[in-house]
Amino acid sequence: MLQNIYDLQDMIKLVDLSKGYRLSDFVCEFEEYNEFLRDEALELQEAEISKLHLLN
C-alpha cells in the first residue's frame, strides 16, 4: 500500500515520447486522446510546439 507520494515515484517513471513506442496500444475512453497520441503528438513534439511524457 502507498504510504506517500514518494512510494508512487518508485513505481512509475515519466519518459519522453519517441518513435519507439507502440502508440496503437494506447486506449482511452476519449477517442480524441487516442487520435491525438496516434496522429499528432509526435509531429507536434518534433516541431517543438509541445512536449509529451508517457508513464512507464
Q: Please state the pTM of the whole predicted model.
A: 0.66
In this predicted structure, what is the pLDDT of residue 26?
Answer: 84
The answer as to whether 17 is a domain residue is yes
Residue 48 has φ and ψ, to the nearest 5°, of: 60, 35
In a domain, 1, yes or no: no
Q: What are phi and psi of 21, to 5 degrees?
A: -90, 140
Confidence of residue 2 (pLDDT cuts 50, 70, 90): low
Name the residue range of residue 29's domain.
12-55
Instruction: Please count the other Cβ atoms lying within 10 Å of the Cβ belonging to residue 37.
Output: 19
Number of domains in the chain: 1
Does residue 50 form part of some domain? yes
Q: What is the DSSP letter of 13?
A: -
